[in-house]
Structure 1
Amino acid sequence: MIRACLLAGVASVSLAAGANAEPVSITIATVNNGDMVTMQKLSDAFEKANPDIKLNWVVLEENTLRQRVTTDIATHAGQFDVLTIGNYEAPIWAQRGWLEKITPDAAYDTDDLLKPVRDSLSYKGAIYALPFYAESAMTYYRTDLFKKAGLTMPTAPTYEQIRQFADKITDKSNGVYGMCLRGKPGWGENMAFFTMLVTAMGGQWFGDGYHATIDTPAWHKALDWYDGILKADGPPGATSNGFNENLALFASGHCGMWIDSTVAAGLLYDKKQSTVADKVGFAPVPTGSYTGGPTWLWSWALAVPVSSTHKGAAEKFVTWATSKAYVDLVAKTNGWVSAPAGTRQSTYANPQYKAVAPFASFVLDAIDNSNPNGKTAQPRPYVGAQFVGIPEFQGIGTQVGQTIAATLTGGLSADQALKSAQSATQRTVRQAGLAH
């Protein structure tokens, strides 16, 4: 009897201790894009459903996020439990053993994820990150400005036509700029667009044996177009403008055209966030002299590093934030037009989403038919559309991005920039043992 009472007492103490236990605290590193800001705002729902887990947020500008999470995971510092990464990092870091495999339960419905997106976040058949949103690229334009100028956007515009349109709709005296483009330096900022532009002009980063092919006619043609349109028709301070800054410019009526991620469509068509929501048209990315090459595919995804000390709680959050239930929560809170794009077949099959998202079928088709591993004009030793799928590209792309940006400010001529970029890139791949 005494022993039974003692055991009962121990049990009651244990239960009391469990009830009063501090919640597990996990730290989430994410980018300051609008969809992620929404995720943070709605995360109260997760904490209410999981009172044993507390969320700490580190929300950073894109370039800073990439630097911080790369440093953290490479040094196994364990500062973050959830990382916001993309399909550039996921297979590379998985191969290095830096990421946990993610195995959602049947209710998560992994098969509902769009196959190109799911495959891009996998390594040897296992998923290492779950997509929060995914994107290809498209051309946005102001239908009212085109009508005023007597212009019609072709179903398949060329870069030459786009330059002509930009010249005609630019009205700097009224704060309207014919073309907004990423000018902020960074491998995932200005170089994401610029790499796509180079491919369209018949160029690439490397040829056989990882010989850099930057100081070539195709890169010169791309830089002439980019430099020319932004200086003639772009907003001031273009080198400060990345995705978020251009989104804000377009949504507030200052851009006539913008070539960028398909994910911006949901924001530009949202009347709560865009003053031009009823004046937005869209078209494919322009073509150049080379067509049929690799096409933009990106996913901002959530991953759990092996250095996390709270992997179970971290994976629970990752699966919640990328689930069908989360999509429904966003739709209920902010409207279906704001639902996370590019990830789930069920979103694109939903009549409520299709009713408010005229761009839905266009975006779905662009992602379903994305071809990041497609051929460039000349054979290439790497994969990727708007990035090069090698670990060294983070450094290479950022350095070249700074050089390209310097042409916009007049710090370097095109010839100087491309010669410098060629030399620095070749030196890096040689030191890495890639070039031979």
Structure 2
Amino acid sequence: MPVFPRGSLDRRRFLAASAGAALATAALPGCASSVDTGSGAKGAKETLTIMDAAWLKADKQKAEQALGINLNVITYDVTKLNAMLAGGNPPDVVRGVGATDVPYFAARGLMADLDPYFAKSDVLKPSDLAAANDIWRYDSGAKKQGTGPRYGMAKDYSQDCMFWYRTDLFEAAKLDLPSDTEPLSCEEWLDLGKQLTKRRLGKVKVYGLSAGALNGPLTTFMWMTASAGGSLFAQDLATVDFSSPEALKALQWYLDYAKANIGPSVVNPNPDGWDGPTYQASRMAMANDGYWFGGVIGADAKLSGVSRLAPAPQLGSHRVSPCFGATGLWVPKGAKNKDTAWKFFEYYFGTLAEERATTGYGIPSLKSLVPKMPQDNAFHKQSYTVQQQELPYFSVLPVSPYAQADALNVVLTKVLPDAVNSGTSAGKIADTLNSRINEQLARGKELVG
């Protein structure tokens, strides 16, 4: 399930609560003894500092009892994280978005190599790791993600460009339902969004389509450019080119979407902060969220009765269905409690993962847990089948190690609104984006080498 810091505070609260539900279910008392800190104090407990979404107090206490340690949970903040890493006093465990965070932090030597821990673990065996976990691998020499040491692990994952839709809103608009097997073209998707949008007195009352990626617009452009047969980043990942025919096509699609005002965008963000509340309230017909979003929907029998999952739309003939999340945990190279951090890993990705697998909040990170994915009713059977059919098109698109994805999204969210409102052409916007983003990447490359 993709997560923070790309979403809103409301979204983070929701995700923290959902994580807390898993903790409350799986953290059983009395299943671990106290960890000896070596201080000589009998029964003294070690403190593990975790940078994560906020935890509920009761869930934190249950996890502490299960592990026999104290947890110091600090809310994730990328600025604070960078400062702690620079100051040589990092958290012991950090929550991260594998697809976009690993290249940046691993290239700078800030992540601990966890291969020795995986090799010895009876809980997290390399042979049981889903292929999506390769997102958490990075070869610093080749500057290539997907190979090399493992620096973390995904708690679960989704193909993030798939979308959910409400059959009741389609039927009310007298529109055919999307196929379970054949992806829509992005043009067809946009057209459906326009037809499904409802306005009153000039204001949007029902969004026809939410095409805003969870982790910011950068990933939308990466996905659509790849589908059109190109790559937003150059082969050496040191530059972007929004002016290429494929990237320009993706940029123009997004401009058309934003101008049509049929869904949340960088021009008009969703007042709810993210898709969940809007979709639940019948104010969004299509939500561009991966399989993990089914965990939100499945908790409501009425909502799940009118909801279905569809393949990722395609801008061109190259069918790709990427993962831009694979949210999980990593251990900083400078962390002082690596052994205890690994015990937390085994608890979090082992014990708690069994409960998470049954909720529909993403595809399990362990292959042995895939049979636990929910298939108990028509809603879960449909989404499970569509997700399994989508797996052959799974991909991880290359992200530059020379700048944090959040920083590049800041450029996009600054440039695009004024450009859309002023009617600036896609070509001129592309030139501006190339200049500003490539300047950032060049500075980063000087630091990394």
* SS of corresponding position for 1:392: coil
Say which of 429, 432, 445 aligns to 1:420.
432
Q: Is the 8 A contact 1:84 1:301 kept in 2?
A: yes
2:186 alignment counterpart = 159
- Aligned partners of 2:157 and 2:323 also within 8 Å: no
**2:197 matched to 1:149?**
no
Tell me the CA shift for residue 305 of structure 1.
0.8
Describe the shift of the 1:145–1:48 C-alpha distance in structure 2 as closer, same or farther (beyond 3 A). same
Judged with a 3 Å threshold, the aligned counterparts in structure 2 of structure 1 residues 415 and 122 are, in CA distance, closer, same or farther, namely closer
> Residues 213 and 90 from structure 1, CA distance in 2 versus in 1: closer, same or farther, beyond 3 angstroms?
closer
Kindly indicate whether residue 228 of structure 2 is the aligned counterpart of residue 197 of structure 1: no
| Alignment correspondent of 1:55 | 71
- The whole-number CA distance in structure 2 between the counterparts of 1:247 and 1:431 is 37
Counterpart residue type for residue 256 of structure 2: G
**1:270 corresponding residue in structure 2:** 299
Looking at structure 2, the residues matched to 45 and 222 of structure 1 have their Cα atoms a distance apart, in angstroms, of 47
Q: 1:87 to 1:76 in 2, by over 3 A?
A: farther
SS at match of 1:289: coil
Question: Are the structure 2 counterparts of residues 133 and 67 from structure 1 closer, same or farther at C-alpha, using a change threshold of 3 Å?
Answer: farther
Q: Tell me which of 104, 111, 117 is aligned to 1:99.
A: 111
- Measured after TM superposition, the shift of residue 17 of structure 1 is 6.1
In structure 2, what residue type is equivalent to 1:245?
W
Letter in 2 for 1:250: Y
Corresponding residue number in structure 2 for 1:46: 63
**Alpha-carbon distance between aligned partners in 2 of 1:15 and 1:119, rounded to the nearest angstrom:** 35
For residues 391 and 272 of structure 2, the distance between their equivalents in structure 1, rounded to whole angstroms, comes to 19
Contact 1:181/1:230, CA 8 A, preserved across alignment: no
Is 2:163 the counterpart of 1:139?
Answer: yes
What's the CA shift for 1:129? 0.5
Cα 1:199–1:236 change in 2 (3 A) is closer
Cα offset, 1:159, TM superposition: 0.9
Percent identity over the alignment? 18
Deviation for aligned residue 1:269: 2.3
In structure 1, list runs of 5 or more residues that go unmatched: 1-13, 374-383
In 1: Cα distance, 2:266 partner to 2:233 partner: 31
Select the residue among 376, 379, 382 that pairs with 1:355: 376
1:211/1:391 Cα in 2 relative to 1: closer, same or farther (>3 Å)? Answer: closer
Q: Which residue of 2 aligns with 1:18?
A: 41
The normalised TM-score by structure 1 is 0.76
Which amino acid is 1:169 matched to?
A: L
TM-superposed deviation, 1:256: 0.8
Cα deviation for residue 118 of structure 1 reads 2.2
CA contact (8 A) 2:155 2:328 kept: yes
Name the aligned partner's letter for residue 209 of structure 2.
M
Alignment-derived partner of residue 346 in structure 1: 368
- Is 1:258 matched with 2:273? no
Whether contact under 8 Å (1:77, 1:307) holds in the other structure is yes
CA distance in 2, matches of 1:120, 1:318: 17
Relative distance call for 1:308 and 1:354 in structure 2 (3 A) is: same
> How many angstroms apart in 1 are the aligned matches of 2:48 and 2:235?
45
Contact in 2 for aligned 1:130/1:319 (Cα 8 Å) = no
- CA shift digits 1:160-214 (9 cap, x unpaired): 1111211211113382110113278xxx312122321233344432446756421
Greater mean deviation of Cα atoms: 292-301 or 415-424:
292-301
Q: 1:405 offset after TM fit, Å?
A: 4.2
Find the aligned partners of 1:41 and 1:181 in 2 and give their Cα distance: 36
1:219 maps onto 2:247 in alignment: yes
Q: Which residue in 2 is equivalent to 1:11?
A: none
- Alignment-mate amino acid for residue 312 of structure 1: D
Describe how 1:193-342 pairs up with structure 2 within 5 A. 193-207=220-234, 212-232=240-260, 233-235=262-264, 239-241=268-270, 245-271=274-300, 276-293=303-320, 295-323=322-350, 325-330=351-356, 336-338=358-360, 341-342=363-364
Correspondent of 2:134 among 105, 111, 119 = 119
Distance across 1 between alignment mates of 2:444 and 2:63: 43
Q: Is the 8 A contact 1:354 1:360 kept in 2?
A: yes
Distance 1:135 1:49, change over 3 A: same
State the match for 2:9 in structure 1: none
Q: Give, in whole Å, the separation in 2 of the partners of 1:100 and 1:67.
A: 20
Task: Answer whether contact 1:179 1:229 (CA < 8 A) is retained.
Answer: no
The 8 Å contact of residues 111 and 331 in structure 2, kept in 1 or not, is answered as: yes
Distance 1:326 1:415, change over 3 A: same
Shift of 1:228: 2.3
Pick one of 114, 122, 130 that aligns with 2:153: 130
Other-structure match for 1:380: none
TM-score by length of 2: 0.74
> Secondary structure at the residue paired with 2:329?
strand
The 3 A distance-change label for structure 1 pair 269 and 20 is closer
Measured in 2, the distance between the counterparts of 1:415 and 1:72 equals: 40
Distance 1:255 1:238 in 2: 17
CA contact (8 A) 1:135 1:342 kept: no
Aligned partner letter, 1:224: Q
Asked if 2 retains the 8 angstrom alpha-carbon contact of 1:249 and 1:255, the reply is: yes
Deviation at 1:296, TM superposition (A): 3.1
- Counterparts of 1:211 and 1:91 in 2: how far apart (Å)? 15
Q: In structure 2, what is the equivalent of residue 176 of structure 1? A: 206
Which segment is superposed worse, 171-180 or 409-418? Answer: 409-418
CA distance 1:301–1:178, shift in 2 (3 Å) = same
Bigger Rg over Cα: 1
1:409 to partner: Cα distance: 5.2
Report the count of equivalent residues.
384
SS of the residue 2:374 aligns to: helix
Partner secondary structure for residue 70 of structure 2: strand
**1:342-375 Cα shifts (integer Å, max 9, x gaps):** 412233212x7222533224334545641225xx
